[in-house]
Copies of this chain bind each other. A is one copy, B any other.
Amino acid sequence: MIDKLDADIEHLRKLFVFPESQDRFLEFGKQILDMMYNSFKQKGGLHSSITLDELSSLFSDISIPRDPKLLRDIFPEIQNKIAAHSVKVYSPYYIGHMTSAIPYFTILIEMIVSSLNQNQVKIETAKASTYVERELLCWIHRLIYRKNPRFYKETIQNHRVALGNVTSDGTMANLTAMLVARNLLFKEDGRFPGIASAGLAEAYNHYNCEKTVLLMSKRGHYSFDKIADLCGIGDNNIIKIPVENGTNKIDINVLTKELNSIEDYNNNHEKKIKILSLIGIAGTTETGNIDNLYEMNKLAKKHKTRFHVDAAWGGPVLFVEDYAHLFKGIEEADSVTFDSHKLLYLPLSMGMVLFNSEKDLQSLEHTTQYVVRRDSRDQGRFTIEGSRPFAALRPWVALKVIGSEGFRLLFEKAFTISSYFKTQIDLHSNFESLNEPELFIFNYRFIPNRIKKHLESLMSDKSEASLKQVTRINNELNALNIQLHREIRNNDLSFVSRTVIESTKYSPDEIVVLRAVTINPLTTNSIIKEIIAEHNRLGLRIFNKSWKKKFKNIT
């Protein structure tokens, strides 16, 4: 028996020995590349034709595998069950989500990240990688805040301060920013030890606070609902400000009124409403539009509250000097969220949060004896997460390979494509565009020509009866576009997403829109043309088949 065990453990130990002869390793590598290449080049749809129920039955083994197997015996399973049924997010026809193509050298970078396997929580498990992370955070901080070089020379590797954190994603970056805001708002004060130690209920008592609110536009990311839940302020206390007509940017007038009314309330009440932060959005998830950060920041300063910018989507576009005006005011924000798996075109997932003040993160400091010692160089002192991979290597290398100039070109290309998309839709008789794309996200819908014209005349009329009719038509168009979206999915030659927004010219009607995110550098004008033609063909087919009569009754 012992012999057998020894033999087996020897097999297992060999798995941990870095192969001296790399032939077999490279052979496996080649197999993986072949597998990927074959999946990528496969003709046909963006998804396999398998139904979700069929697919789920492939992964319904409730037992953990007992005996060891050879990797080569598992490859076919990975190929046939997983790779074959993955979503081709890298296709230039997949323009529905923020997950897009990645440059292929990043696959090589992942090999380095995993084989070094540094744990960023602590310098004892992350030596050079600690400094790489700090250098990267400095670069991104400077891209956003543009402080003078002396500031960066003094802070880049000064372990007593932190320009920001690397996080697992944008949600965690936003959470970090809100937690810092909360802990500073209810900080240590005399005998009150601060909210981190005393908890929120005592903090409210000490600071005579009735509730804490967060203000952002209706376009704000749903992660803030989770965050308001998490950090104890409650998601009912997010004040969602409408957007200005047609622009998808926060309505500054409504925001101003809201802030003034909070001030009025506080002047007339014993218990106060505290403001956690204003949240500006630089690239809303649904429409890609950017709030008026300049005005928001002025309001934040006037009302002595913090200003956070969620630039998880749009941040990298700061590389384009010509578009910097869109972001004006971001350099005054207290904190900014910036994702690397979106517009830095890197594999999932990594976020960053940058703080205007290099001292803000000290409000989160937690230390222990065995890990993350105070006064150490451990990056884990300031992070919500504990163990973290050396994900910072990805953007660090990508910024060197692509360069800020390269990113500028990629974004200019993406701007061109989304402008082309909008122009083509505007010229098309059977479609309607529903937002002004600023950051490569475009909303539109299918609407047969005759109905479009009818709707236009009703809209210009503006009588109550007409507007009622507009709503009725929009309801039908919503159903039509939901069906169209399903048909696009079934046809499977292209992929766009869909959502519902209230901020179109038909406001307050809620409009179902198709949503295209055109950032893949391999997506071309002619592919956009193909996609529009396909959607038109599918739209007309279902319209003629099942909607013509319905619309006759209401138009």
Contact = CB atoms under 8 A, between A and B. Distances in A.
A108 interface: yes
Contacts of A465: none
B400 A69 contact: yes
A132 interface: yes
A129 B82 contact: yes
Contacts of A15: 103-105, 401-402
Contact of A59 (B157, B209, B410): B157
B285 A370 contact: yes
8 contacts: A25-B33, A62-B138, A85-B128, A99-B118, A124-B495, A168-B385, A172-B385, A341-B387
B69 A125 contact: no
A114 B341 CA distance: 11
A68 B135 contact: no
Contact of A370 (B82, B101, B204, B515): B515
B104 A135 contact: no
A251 to B, nearest CB: 20
A195 interface: yes
A125 B89 contact: yes
A521 B153 contact: no
Given A22-B37, A193-B236, 5 more contacts: A15-B402, A18-B40, A59-B128, A198-B234, A200-B200
Given A105-B15, A169-B388, A232-B199, A403 B67 contact: yes
Q: Which of A61, A124, A204 has most chain B Cβ within 10 Å?
A: A124
A122 B522 CA distance: 24
A388 B222 CA distance: 15
B64 A142 contact: yes
A123 B52 contact: yes
Interface residues of A, number: 181
Contacts of A320: none
Interface string A218-260: 0001110110111111111100000000000000000000000
A8 to B, nearest CB: 6
Interface in A122-149: 122-129, 131-132, 134-135, 138-139, 142-143, 149
Contacts of A113: 110, 347
Contacts of A70: 401
Contacts of A1: none
B138 A78 contact: no
A86 interface: yes
B99 A235 contact: no
Given A32-B112, A115-B107, A387-B348, A37 B16 contact: no
A78 B37 CA distance: 27
A21 B301 CA distance: 56
A81 interface: yes
A395 to B, nearest CB: 10
A325 interface: no
Contact of A66 (B104, B200, B403, B413): B403
A12 interface: yes
B104 A68 contact: no
A13 interface: yes
A47 interface: yes
A30 B124 CA distance: 29
Given A8-B409, A9-B409, A153-B62, A222 B400 contact: no
Contacts of A460: none
B169 A71 contact: no
Interface in A35-54: 35-37, 40-41, 47-48, 52
Given A102-B117, A118-B89, A384-B171, A128 B234 contact: no
Nearest to A495: B124
A230 B231 contact: yes
Contacts of A390: 348
Q: Which of A8, A114, A143, A169 has most chain B Cβ within 10 Å?
A: A114
A77 B399 CA distance: 14
A69 B348 contact: no
A434 to B, nearest CB: 14
A236 B87 contact: no
Interface in A1-29: 5, 8-9, 12-13, 15-20, 22, 25-26, 28-29
A397 B212 contact: no
A386 interface: yes
A36 B369 CA distance: 32
A90 interface: yes
Contact of A200 (B37, B226, B234): B234
